[in-house]
Structure 1
Amino acid sequence: LAEGYEVHIVTDASGGTTQEAHDMSVQRMIQAGAVPVTWQQVLLEFQRDWAHKETYDAVMDLVREHSGAYGMGVDYAYTMVHKAPQRQVK
């Protein structure tokens, strides 16, 4: 921040010794000008464009496995809209 960079902090991929310590450190970073984001925001920013076919499948695998309701929506779109076979949960 001091050198002029825009800084994003991935709040759900970091922690402190307690929940309060984590929350207070995030608040201090926000007050300093950092932008809080989640791991999923970072992942989707890296993918950026669904036309990037070389990373599409890997990103969608992560989303379906670890993104809760959004992952369920992706599963729904695959099976109902794109007529893909239903995914077998392990």
Structure 2
Amino acid sequence: MVNETDCEHQLFGIKQDADRYRQVEAGIAATQKELDRLTAMHAPAAEIAFVQGELSDQLDQLEQISREGQAAVDEFRGECGGHHLPVLPWE
């Protein structure tokens, strides 16, 4: 038997993961823009490397959110199969 409260709680967590994913995606876009700007103006290598490191960290974070979000979706579908999910950014 499906526990509606548990399904609602799981859905809320999935929506939070999707929001975090979108926020990190926006951060990646901004960091990439900054990296492009620094590269175009031939900024010092250390400055470019720092921003590249930030970008790498953000990409890792996005991958982690995607994995965790998909695991939550898989669990949700297994337990709450008939419920509707929003469009998810990692799918």
Q: Fold conserved (TM > 0.5)?
A: no
Q: Please report the TM-score for the alignment, with normalisation by the length of structure 1.
A: 0.31
Q: Max radius of gyration: which structure? A: 2
Q: Going by fraction, where is strand more abundant, 1 or 2?
A: 1
Q: Which has the higher helix share?
A: 2
Normalised TM-score (structure 2) = 0.31
